[in-house]
Amino acid sequence: MLPDLLILLIMLGIFAAGVFWWKLPAGLALALSSVAGALAAGYGLPVRHLVEGMFGYLDAVLIIATAMVFMKAIEASGALGAINSAMIRSLYRWPTALMILVIFFIMFPGMLTGLSSACILTTGALVTPALLAMGMPAVAVGSFVAMAAVYGMIAPPINIPVMIIGGGVDMPYIGFDAPLLLATFPLAIVTAVYFRVRYVRAVVPGVVLAKLPPSVYGRHGVKLFAPLVVVVGLMIAVRVVPAWVPDIGVPLIFILGALSAWRTGEKISLVKLSRAAIRDALPIMTILVGVGMFVQIMTLTGVRGFIAVQALQLPPALLYVGIAAIMPAFGSAYAASSVLGVPLVYVFLGRNEIVVASALSLIAGVADMMPPPSLLCVFAAQLVGEKNHFRILKESLPLIAAALLVGILLIVYAGPVGSLFRY
């Protein structure tokens, strides 16, 4: 059997070659690296472990699929567009408040789906013309939307990186709402104020609204927002009054929300929307399948324990610097969470594990901004018509540094922060 370090390097090398050289989808590259790791460790082709890993994050896959159907439904019904128009009409006199509300609006799909890309493809695409009309440069708009997507992916109620970490350490996804709010909402507010002070002077509502699709609220009234009431209401009710409202599961809540979008707004075809939603979410779902296999083989071969032991031997200061530098370098929040997030929870045993996992998910979330893939920067650049997506990354560097600092501080003070929430 090869040394653990060499097995890890083989797995990471096959993954990197698959993504950047062979141009394979990330999920397939993770699957190949898992097989390579098992072969290198002398386990042959452990079909049972590979299949078990494939289903390791089935709950997250179901959440992503159903949440994307829900987001497509409320977008097609006109609910998102109506909210966007109402925000600008109500708050154009107060640009700071408007920018704060806009960043929360962009974050909303990520909060419900756990997908950063959903923020850019839905609400981000809706508000981009308005932000450009408010005088923000294209690069600044791209950075604003991309950072909002990171916060939305990490904010509650759905956080896929935390689910990956929790699945690897047998920690249920319970009690994360408050730490995740603390990790993301202050950063979102700071980001909104940062761009407001730098770029937005005054908002002319007529100019901005002319860049947006017309609101359909006048045709449908408040029933347009029935799907949002159903989803948000059920998510709150199962937590606040569990004796009255049984926990039917997040996927079923999203399905009920999508069904309630029928005939509450513009005419929609749920079958067509569902096909489009699954098609858009499929790359992310395959990544989670690959991540599950990767984590399972890391456990089987002892690589995960090797990472934890090596991390424990580092001086604390160097450990924190390493976390902030290495986790984002994976270029994917899911890969960073599975490879480093899982063993790092063991490194910080004795502190509040819920707060630690929340902080690690924030640091891992930044990976979606970083090269070589820079997925969020690429999506945002396409959205604003910027040819060089690295300009968006450069514009975002101060905010990325702030997010990493917040993540490290949450780890350092995990115990006191957890005591605030009575964990």
Which range among 202-211, 269-278, 327-336 has the greatest average pLDDT? 269-278
Residue range 184-212: mean pLDDT, rounded: 87
Q: How far apart are the first and last CA of the chain?
A: 42
Please tell me the predicted confidence (pLDDT) of residue 356. Answer: 95
User: pLDDT tens digits, residue range 386-397?
Assistant: 888 889 999 999
CA distances from 413 to 216, 227, 244, 305, 309 (A): 47, 39, 37, 25, 22
Please tell me the predicted confidence (pLDDT) of residue 151. Answer: 97
User: Model's pTM, two decimal places?
Assistant: 0.79
Query: Into how many domains does the chain fold?
Result: 1
Share of the chain above pLDDT 70, in %: 98
Please tell me the predicted confidence (pLDDT) of residue 214. Answer: 81
Neighbouring residues of 349: CB distance < 8 A, sequence distance ≥ 6: none
Cα radius of gyration rounded to whole Å, the chain: 21
Say yes or no to pLDDT of 372 above 70: no
Say yes or no to pLDDT of 373 above 70: no
- How far, in Å, CA of 365 to CA of 358, rounded? 11
Helices (H) and strands (E) in the chain, counts: 24, 0
- How far, in Å, CA of 285 to CA of 217, rounded? 34
Say yes or no to pLDDT of 404 above 70: yes
Query: Which structural domain, as residue segments, surrounds residue 331?
Result: 4-420
Neighbouring residues of 267: CB distance < 8 A, sequence distance ≥ 6: none
Please tell me the predicted confidence (pLDDT) of residue 240. Answer: 78
User: pLDDT tens digits, residue range 250-269?
Assistant: 889 999 999 999 889 999 99
Please tell me the predicted confidence (pLDDT) of residue 261. Answer: 92
Please tell me the predicted confidence (pLDDT) of residue 123. Answer: 86
Residue range 10-30: mean pLDDT, rounded: 86
- Which of 340 and 300 is assigned the larger pLDDT? 300
Please tell me the predicted confidence (pLDDT) of residue 36. Answer: 94
Mean pLDDT of the chain, nearest integer? 88
